[in-house]
Amino acid sequence: MEATPSPAVAERLGAWLAGLDPAGLPPAAVAMARRLVLDVLGLCIAARRQDYVRATLGATDRGGACTALGHAGGFSAFDAALVNGTAAHGEDFDDTFEGGPVHSGAVVVPAVLAACEREGLGGDRLLIGVASGAELMCRLGLVTPKAIHSAGFHPTAVLGALAAAGAVSAALGLDARQTTHAIGIAGSMASGIIEYLAEGTWTKRMHAGWAAQAGIRAALMARGGFLGPRTVLEGSHGFFKAFAPSRKPEFPLLLDGLGTRWIMQDIAFKPYACGTMTQPYIDCAIALAERGVDPARIDAIVCKVGEGTVHRLWEPLGVKRVPPTPYAAKFSTPFCMAVAFFDRRAGFGQFTEARIQDPAVLRLAGRIRYEIDPANEYPANFTGHLRATLRDGTVHELDQDHMRGGARAPLPDAELERKFLDNALYGGWSDAAAEQACAWCDRMFDGGGVAAAEGFRG
């Protein structure tokens, strides 16, 4: 008699997702899901007039029940998710997860919102989809740390397809078998390479939106009876074999404590509109400026960094010191530090054509370099450091042992709401409209359901 095969990893995930009840979510997970929705809505409004969003809109067809946030009319669920995910991730101001790193909100919120609008579901289904999808994406990010990036893929893009499929399956109430197939299908939809780093082009911006729409399609196909591989994650031709071949997957980090220990409650919200691992270095640069250091007297700034950040944020160093586009500047630690030194901030206004050509900023960026610190905790913890040597030999050394906005120093609700309002204003909404949008966000969960999203049509 043949032994019954052990449940595959996707089957265990499917059973968990299918068994979730909104009433059983811990308060911290509920609070984080609401924060994710608020942040994503604000980011979509902020980016609604950007050229890359307009280009994405040009690839959609109008007509449908779903909302592209900040835009008039209705869209299909797939098009709405593509536009919203692209807008939410486009300025790299969206949430992150220390340990991954992955950007959950920009993938999961657009996918679940569009699916719930398509099906006419209430705020309870939005909540269960966002919370479970964010949890799944954060846990997936722990399975092969650094290996997906090392293989040339973007973790948010490839893991996002799986997480979105799981999130939409939970929101729609798919059973365990259907959910397993949805995850299996999404494995063949996952994509997203990091060659955008070469010239600062736009493909990273679309990764979250592409993953979001893929997740919807995978879940709907599974609901219709389409079959996906049960062993999509651990198989010899499976997901991690393809996207992270250099490292053996640690599936206990994905599965242990699933449903009892919610790690998504530690998701970080960025204070700056640029690459995640640059954030503590920006804080160090601002702290140096606040000491009254004259930039003309700085001979050199050396930063201790984690080896895994170098190929994305520091090299090639000559290009990073003179980024070719505003978008490329977001992934240059030397530029981010230099512009923040002068402006004491790194928001939308610091990543413009004018700022990337500012001679004073570029002179300072040209004096910033790195050295790899073998003891750096990346990716488990995002830290910052600089050692500035002045022309007279004076040395200023600054360390930051955490990311502000992360688990060790979370942004207060009031600051996150202020970020939402600032983003809405940046996107061209009036003060009154921005305040009203905050109320609409609450209504999605508190009786209004996802029909409240129509208030975000511009």
Q: Which helix (H) or strand (E) holds 396?
A: strand 395-400
Q: DSSP H helical segments within 250-316, as ranges?
A: 252-255, 279-290, 310-313
Indicate if the pLDDT at residue 366 is higher than 90.
yes
pLDDT in tens, 329-340: 999 999 999 999
Q: What is the pTM of this model?
A: 0.93
Sign of the alpha-carbon torsion through 44, 458, 54, 126: positive
CATH of the domain spanning 9-270+415-456, picked from 3.40.190.170, 3.30.930.10, 1.25.10.10, 1.10.4100.10? 1.10.4100.10
Q: What topology is assigned to 276-400 in CATH?
A: 60s Ribosomal Protein L30; Chain: A; (3.30.1330)
Q: What is the DSSP letter of 277?
A: G
Identify whether the C-beta of residue 264 lies closer than 8 Å to the C-beta of residue 138. yes
Rounded to the nearest integer, the mean pLDDT of the chain is 94
Indicate if the pLDDT at residue 4 is higher than 60.
no
Q: How confident is the model at residue 1 (pLDDT cuts 50, 70, 90)?
A: very low
Read off the pLDDT of each residue in 314-341 and give the average, rounded to a whole number.
96
Q: Which helix (H) or strand (E) holds 46?
A: helix 27-47
What CA–CA distances, in Å, run from 238 to 98, 140, 229?
25, 14, 9
Dist CA 115 CA 221 (whole Å):
13
Dist CA 132 CA 340 (whole Å):
36
Cβ-proximal residues to 450 (8 Å cutoff; 6+ apart), any chain: 113, 116, 117, 120, 121, 122, 123, 126, 444
Indicate if the pLDDT at residue 452 is higher than 90.
no
Indicate if the pLDDT at residue 2 is higher than 60.
no
> How is the chain split into domains, by residue range?
9-270+415-456, 276-400
Read off the pLDDT of each residue in 9-24 and give the average, rounded to a whole number.
96
Indicate if the pLDDT at residue 236 is higher than 60.
yes
pLDDT in tens, 133-184: 999 999 999 999 999 999 999 999 999 999 999 999 999 999 999 999 999 9
Read off the pLDDT of each residue in 108-136 and give the average, rounded to a whole number.
96
**Least confident span in 11-25, 31-45, 442-456:** 442-456
Sign of the alpha-carbon torsion through 374, 377, 379, 385: negative
Identical fold at 9-270+415-456 and 276-400? no
pLDDT in tens, 52-78: 999 999 999 999 999 999 999 999 999
Dist CA 232 CA 175 (whole Å):
18
**Least confident span in 1-5, 46-50, 372-376, 403-407:** 1-5
In the Cβ-directed half-sphere of 133, how many Cα atoms lie within 13 Å? 42
Read off the pLDDT of each residue in 271-282 and give the average, rounded to a whole number.
94
Between strands 384-390 and 298-305, the pairing is antiparallel
Indicate if the pLDDT at residue 3 is higher than 60.
no
Closest CA to 191 of 154, 163, 220: 154
Dist CA 371 CA 142 (whole Å):
26
Closest CA to 69 of 437, 442, 403, 391: 437
Read off the pLDDT of each residue in 325-353 and give the average, rounded to a whole number.
96
